[in-house]
Amino acid sequence: MKIKTGDTVMVISGHYKGTIGEVTAVSPRSNRVIVEGVNMVKKALKPSQENPEGGIVETEAPIHVSNVMIYDTKAKQAGRVGYKGTGKDKVRYNKKTGNEIKEDKK
């Protein structure tokens, strides 16, 4: 999967089309990503020790990875992800702008 946690992406289809957000989680097995502020759903929670009140919580649901494109904040353009170099020096870049995608080491 070419989209990774921490990437800035633009939603290209669906109800949230045009929304720009950061990827908070990636699920490679199901080809889905969770984007900050996108696909908000309401979920009813039972009271528990952590949440004694319970109630309704609004949270992000996953969307398919084909519905997002990597977004270049400098050029303000979305594009596909490509790879430059070989071996150790392999880096991801935005094919439309040619700019490298910075990887945040955590």
Q: Which CATH number fits the domain that encloses residue 57?
A: 2.30.30.30
Instruction: Report the mean per-residue pLDDT for the chain.
Output: 92
pTM: 0.84
Domain that holds residue 18: 8-94
Cβ atoms of residues 62 and 39 within 8 Å: yes
Q: Is position 3 within any domain?
A: no
| Tokens encoding 5 | 């946690």
From CA 9, how far away is CA 4, in angstroms rounded? 10
pLDDT, average across residues 30-45: 96
- Examine the pLDDT at 88 and tell me if it is beyond 90: no
- Examine the pLDDT at 105 and tell me if it is beyond 60: no
Number of domains in the chain: 1
Cβ atoms of residues 36 and 8 within 8 Å: no
Task: Give residue 103's pLDDT band: very low, low, confident or very high (50, 70, 90).
Answer: confident
Task: Give residue 24's pLDDT band: very low, low, confident or very high (50, 70, 90).
Answer: very high
pLDDT, average across residues 26-53: 95
Note the residue count of the chain: 106
The CB density around residue 69, as the number of other CB atoms within 10 Å, is 20
